[in-house]
Structure 1
């Protein structure tokens, strides 16, 4: 049996018929707002006309924050180095505090062992 060269539904999915405003309803009035990042990229996301326009937008190309002023884009955020739990503890307690706490804990353990 010979197959015909074309298939009427090839490359389509369920519900992928021609869609117009009659099926989806009226589209809200929109406006494109330009945003500029520190790497010089420009992006123009579309917002509904009555929507509140955000001050910053993430650049889709590099991920840096983008602002509305091309001459003064927001600076890249400063990445803090990863700190271990011990580093945070050392910020809160001095070595003397740590030694005192250790001595207290050891004294409690020794007292419990004698019981």
Structure 2
């Protein structure tokens, strides 16, 4: 199994963003016992988390480029967008993360090859390329 640090070469930046998103959730839901427990566990068992958490950074949304390493394709540079889906008061919303490749790039070809290896992909119609 690949470690997150191997899959995501920019691990430190992503970990900082994740802690910032967690801090934003903690601010929205200060009485959430499970969230408080999670932050306590991470703080108790990870020096790196304690260091990042101490910065106080809050991240509400993010988009841009992501670099990740897949064992079958190597390093991929993908566009990343996060769609925040709000919830009713007192409930936790959802965040949909979308990674995509620009048409005609080696990354698009790599994602197409990877998708073809998924069992469910054998039953899906092929989409016409966007031009």
Does TM, normalized by the shorter one, top 0.5?
no
TM-score, L = length of structure 2: 0.19
TM-score, L = length of structure 1: 0.21
- Give 1 or 2: higher strand fraction: 2
The structure that has the greater radius of gyration is: 1
- Give 1 or 2: higher helix fraction: 2
